[in-house]
């Protein structure tokens, strides 16, 4: 059994009108089966309203399934006695950096999780130091979070989660409110954690370029899993992605268009380097095909 597993997970929102009568039921998650292994980097994609954030909240026992089961590290999230263990094992980073930083000084915020867990004072300091170093924010430990950039704030939030020594981190659109530089910063920090510390990462995003380095990508649409596989497999299906209203990275799109015009390129090109390499290996490029 993997670190995170869900079986036939269903979650329904009950919509009510102003008097509180039930207007209807929206199924946000529809029979989702997940199996995430320890040490994996999994990206979950989907446009707005696809249920990806709702799914994330199930992995940390913030929401409970209407039907089906979620196991985190082998423990059923619906069971109350496991609640704090699950929240410690599956740390969560949210979208808005301002709304998840509790401390007025960076180090105090990182210490908040361990404090709640009842970690002894001396060990809290060790954990704070090691987590801030892991995300490259150690030199800012005495700063006020209000004075940091968006990317730095998110790195502090990530440090706050790793200080709890989780087995897995779930990041719910951590880059949605950041500028391109901030996005790169955060993704780099997350990848480093996955590589160096072996922490399982579940990254929820709608930026396609962030999933390139993932081990596995899952595309969600209307509450169920529409596609899953390696990023290469996902990106080789450009038509399907467009159908699901997802943006394809520019390089992949270019390669796709070239291929359609008759250039012999492989499927699922993800980076500039790959495209250059593939193109330089081709002897004949039918540039002037239209004229001939």
- According to the binding rule CB under 8 A, does residue 128 interact with another protein? yes
- According to the binding rule CB under 8 A, does residue 102 interact with another protein? yes
Q: Which is nearer to another protein, 94 or 256 (CB)?
A: 94
Residue with tokens 């490029």: 285
- According to the binding rule CB under 8 A, does residue 64 interact with another protein? no
- According to the binding rule CB under 8 A, does residue 37 interact with another protein? no
Identify the CA nearest to 93 among candidates 127, 134, 60. 60
3-class SS of residue 31:
strand
Q: How far is the CB of 119 from another protein (least distance, A)?
A: 6
DSSP E strands: which ranges in 142-255?
168-172, 200-205, 216-221, 224-229
Q: How far is the CB of 105 from another protein (least distance, A)?
A: 5
Using CA atoms, how far apart are residues 101 and 155, in angstroms rounded to an integer?
Answer: 11
Q: How far is the CB of 248 from another protein (least distance, A)?
A: 31
Give kind and range of the element (H or E) at residue 272.
helix 272-280
- According to the binding rule CB under 8 A, does residue 138 interact with another protein? no
3-class SS of residue 53:
helix
- According to the binding rule CB under 8 A, does residue 48 interact with another protein? no
Q: How far is CA 20 from CA 25, 27, 28, 66, 90, in A?
A: 13, 19, 20, 20, 34
Q: Which stretch binds another protein (CB under 8 A): 74-82, 114-122, 197-205, 234-242?
A: 114-122
- According to the binding rule CB under 8 A, does residue 241 interact with another protein? no
Q: How far is the CB of 27 from another protein (least distance, A)?
A: 22
**Crossing angle, helix 121-134 and helix 150-162, to 10 degrees?**
140
Q: Which of 39, 103, 136, 229 binds another protein (CB under 8 A)?
A: 103
Q: 241-245 — which CB contacts under 8 Å span 24+ positions?
A: 244/46, 244/47, 244/219, 245/47
β-bridge pairing 22-36 and 4-16: antiparallel
Q: Which stretch binds another protein (CB under 8 A): 30-38, 116-124, 132-140, 181-189?
A: 116-124
Q: How far is the CB of 17 from another protein (least distance, A)?
A: 20
Q: Which is nearer to another protein, 3 or 244 (CB)?
A: 3
Show the binding pattern over residues 142-161: x = contacts another protein (CB under 8 A), - = does not.
xxx-x-------------xx
Q: Which of 4, 34, 148, 164 binds another protein (CB under 8 A)?
A: 164
The 8-class DSSP code of residue 137 comes to -
Q: Which stretch binds another protein (CB under 8 A): 14-22, 105-113, 189-197, 221-229?
A: 105-113
Residue with tokens 């913030």: 62
Whether residue 206 contacts residue 173, with contact meaning beta carbons closer than 8 Å, is answered with yes
- According to the binding rule CB under 8 A, does residue 26 interact with another protein? no
Report residue 111 as tokens: 């210490």
- According to the binding rule CB under 8 A, does residue 124 interact with another protein? yes
Q: Residues near 266 by Cβ (< 8 Å), separated by ≥ 6?
A: 278
Q: Which of 16, 74, 84, 272 binds another protein (CB under 8 A)?
A: 84
Q: Which is nearer to another protein, 141 or 216 (CB)?
A: 141
Q: Residues near 192 by Cβ (< 8 Å), separated by ≥ 6?
A: 134, 135
Residue ranges that bind another protein, judged by CB under 8 A: 60, 62, 84, 87-88, 91-92, 94, 96, 98-105, 107-108, 111-121, 124-125, 128, 142-144, 146, 160-161, 164
């Amino acid at each position: 059994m993997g670190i995170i597993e869900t079986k036939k997970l269903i979650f329904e929102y009950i919509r009510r009108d102003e008097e509180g009568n039930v207007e209807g039921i929206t199924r946000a998650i529809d029979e989702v089966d997940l199996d995430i292994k320890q040490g994996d980097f999994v990206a979950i994609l989907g446009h707005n309203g696809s249920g990806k954030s709702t799914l994330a909240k199930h992995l940390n026992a913030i929401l409970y399934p209407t039907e089906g089961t979620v196991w985190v590290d082998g423990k059923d999230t619906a069971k109350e006695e496991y609640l704090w263990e699950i929240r410690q094992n599956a740390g969560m980073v949210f979208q808005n950096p301002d709304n998840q930083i509790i401390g007025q000084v960076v180090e105090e915020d990182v210490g908040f999780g361990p404090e709640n867990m009842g970690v002894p004072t001396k060990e809290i300091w060790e954990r704070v130091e090691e987590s801030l170093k892991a995300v490259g924010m150690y030199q800012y430990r005495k700063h006020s979070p209000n004075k940091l950039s968006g990317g730095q704030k998110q790195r502090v939030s990530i440090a706050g989660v790793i200080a709890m020594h989780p087995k897995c981190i779930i990041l719910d659109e951590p880059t949605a409110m950041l500028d391109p530089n901030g996005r790169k910063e955060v993704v780099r920090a997350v990848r480093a954690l996955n590589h160096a510390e072996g922490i399982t990462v579940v990254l929820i995003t709608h930026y396609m370029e962030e999933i390139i380095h993932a081990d596995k990508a899952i595309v969600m649409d209307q509450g169920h899993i529409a596609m899953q596989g390696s990023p290469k497999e996902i990106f080789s299906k450009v038509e399907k992605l467009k159908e699901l209203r997802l943006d394809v990275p520019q390089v992949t799109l270019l390669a796709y268009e070239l291929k359609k015009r008759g250039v012999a390129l492989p499927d699922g090109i993800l980076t500039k380097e790959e495209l250059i390499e593939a193109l330089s290996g081709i002897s004949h490029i039918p540039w002037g095909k239209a004229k001939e």
